[in-house]
A and B are shown apart, each in its own frame.
Chain A
Amino acid sequence: MGQITLNAVRKCFGEVDVIPSIDLRIEDGEFVVFVGPSGCGKSTLLRLIAGLEDVTSGGITIDGTDATELPPAKRGLAMVFQSYALYPHMSVRKNIAFPLKMAGMTPEQQEAKVQSAAKVLNLTNYLDRRPGQLSGGQRQRVAIGRAIVREPKAFLFDEPLSNLDAALRVNMRQEITELHQSLKTTMIYVTHDQVEAMTMADKIVVLNAGRIEQVGSPLTLYEHPANTFVAGFIGSPKMNLITGIEAEKLGATTIGVRPEHLDIVDSGGWSGVVGLSEHLGSDTFLKVGTKEVGTINVRAGGGITLRHGDAVRLAPRPGKVHRFGSDGKALS
């Protein structure tokens, strides 16, 4: 079990209201990703759930029981820190066994659990090394190993991949996803990287300045962003947000068109000049300066041969234009 509910959780550091008020329900077995720009309060929210910070007001329930006042060790949650937070003077084996030792397990029980965790994480050959003798990815695995041996109600990850290089990040991302599929334990994962959020999550919680902007599945956020913040944050390259006459024509303050929803047409649409073109083979990213809507990003097919200075006409694909009101909220 691992069902977590936040009721009007608020957190201030002195005068600063970092998290004004958050209500959230995380179902058992879900993979939830908190995503948002740096400094928006993701780590703080995770630490509140973990019990490493005290809430200023509001309540947290875990599996139906009030956990607001419980110390971290009693909440049954395991956390993987951004810095891994491994114990530097202990071997990998002792690191992974540490929570078991603290729980008072016999050395034989500890060893059995360490061995099975090491097998899952491909660490069997490294059990006698110190953390300082491991690569970044291996350290990450040890940190995860230390979390899984506890068989927690939920895993909390705070930007666990941000210290890894790009290739390893993709690998570990998949491994964590597979781990979730095999363990089926609730996972809460914090990241500022929307690609990680989109690829891993069952449910994404988009945070901005301590507030929840939208909660939903990756596709829901992609197809129906609730406001301009989510629209601009989710998706890569970024959605084009256009204000002015073109938006007013559609009865909105702002309209949003994703780069992949702009078609190159022979007539009609917006006319412009290609400023920058990046040919990736599979795709071509264009930056086009237009008269009507300013500079916009376009994601076209790989076969496009447009270059800097070429004239082009662009039309948004019908039904793929998002409309937002003056308060930034989506119009139905």
Chain B
Amino acid sequence: MATQHSRLAARFMVAPSVGFLFVWMIVPLVTTVYFSFLVYNLLHPERQGWAGFDNYYYFLTDRAFLTAVWHSVALVVGVLCITVVGGILLALLLNLPFWGQGVVRVLVIAPFFVMPTVSALVWKNMFMNPVNGMFAHIAKGLGLQPYDFLGHAPMLSIIGIVSWEWLPFATLILLTALQSLDSEQQEAAEMDGANWMNRFIYLTLPHLTRAITVVILIQTIFLLSIYAEIAVTTGGGPASTTITYLVAQQSLYGNDVGGASAGGIVAVILANIVAVFVMRMIGKNLDA
């Protein structure tokens, strides 16, 4: 029955939801594009009119812009590296048969259910605080000088916090992939003289490429828009402002809707460049 008729019917049936999603996406986008060409500052309602490309010019030439790009890249790449490598190691561990497996698996997944603001607060106040934090106590216990993580290495600290949040996701996806690894293949390789390392490199990793691709794609999307963790821990500042945060700052603190919209559009363009890049590089793994 997969005839022209039924295909037509299918198109007809999905049309409302596709239309709805399209409007859902296009209205904010068009509004933002429109605002980005306006002089639109909430503190100066008397100044109005077309700004041309001025908003873009000011956003792109802002000294904070290039640093913010660099911070965004550092955040995405750093978290991806930690979560993919850590996720593979954790998944390999969790895939081994051991007592209490079920409980441990739930515990490992748990951080994923903690809200970003909450986990950032917990990390900031309970672990990284240089006076009362757990790390400070440990350092003092060992006779060392407590380290002000967020003060001295804000970007690294944020990468650490965000990695902690996303490690469970990577682990979960990779663990499911590991569980579908054919045991006879492993045994065949064992008989072929492959040791543990060789089996990992030649069988397990290729088997995991698809899952790793999924992890990288999904995480990139979410990591580019990280906001809460930065707002809660450092509140931006020159050492930890990403593109997303810069845009928020413009509209929130600068009350400059026009400038923020221009920044938003720049962020969208950058995100799409990254998306094309990532898809080109690893997307081919998805249709194997």
Say whether B238 faces chain A, with CB atoms less than 8 Å apart. no
Residues facing A in B214-240 (CB within 8 A) are none
Interface flags for A121-146 (1: CB within 8 Å of B; 0: not) read 00000000000000000000000001
Q: Would you call A85 and B193 a contact (CB within 8 A)? A: no
Task: Tell me the count of chain A residues lying within 8 A, CB to CB, of chain B.
Answer: 24
Q: Would you call A85 and B198 a contact (CB within 8 A)? A: no
Residues facing B in A46-83 (CB within 8 A) are 50-52, 71-73, 77-79, 81-83
Q: Would you call A85 and B182 a contact (CB within 8 A)? A: yes
Say whether A89 faces chain B, with CB atoms less than 8 Å apart. yes
Within the complex, the shortest CB–CB distance from A226 to chain B, in Å, comes to 34
A77-B191 contact given A85-B185, A87-B203, CB 8 Å threshold = yes
Residues facing A in B188-202 (CB within 8 A) are 188-195, 198, 202
For the complex, what is the distance from the CA of A82 to the CA of B288, rounded to whole Å?
A: 24
Q: Would you call B192 and A83 a contact (CB within 8 A)? A: no
Q: Which chain B residues border A72 with CB–CB below 8 Å?
A: 187, 190-191
Within the complex, the shortest CB–CB distance from A312 to chain B, in Å, comes to 51
Say whether B184 faces chain A, with CB atoms less than 8 Å apart. yes
Q: Would you call A79 and B193 a contact (CB within 8 A)? A: no
Interface size band for B: 10 to 19
Say whether A211 faces chain B, with CB atoms less than 8 Å apart. no
A79-B207 contact given A85-B182, A99-B193, CB 8 Å threshold = no
Q: Which chain A residues border B198 with CB–CB below 8 Å?
A: 102
28 contacts across the A-B interface (CB closer than 8 A) = A50-B191, A51-B191, A52-B190, A71-B190, A73-B190, A73-B191, A73-B192, A73-B194, A73-B195, A77-B191, A81-B184, A81-B187, A85-B182, A85-B184, A85-B187, A85-B188, A87-B185, A87-B189, A89-B206, A90-B202, A98-B189, A98-B192, A98-B194, A102-B194, A102-B198, A103-B193, A146-B192, A150-B192
18 other contacts beyond A52-B187, A77-B191, A79-B187, with CB at 8 A cut-off? A52-B190, A71-B190, A72-B187, A72-B190, A79-B188, A79-B191, A81-B184, A81-B187, A81-B188, A83-B182, A87-B185, A87-B202, A87-B203, A89-B288, A99-B192, A99-B193, A102-B194, A150-B192
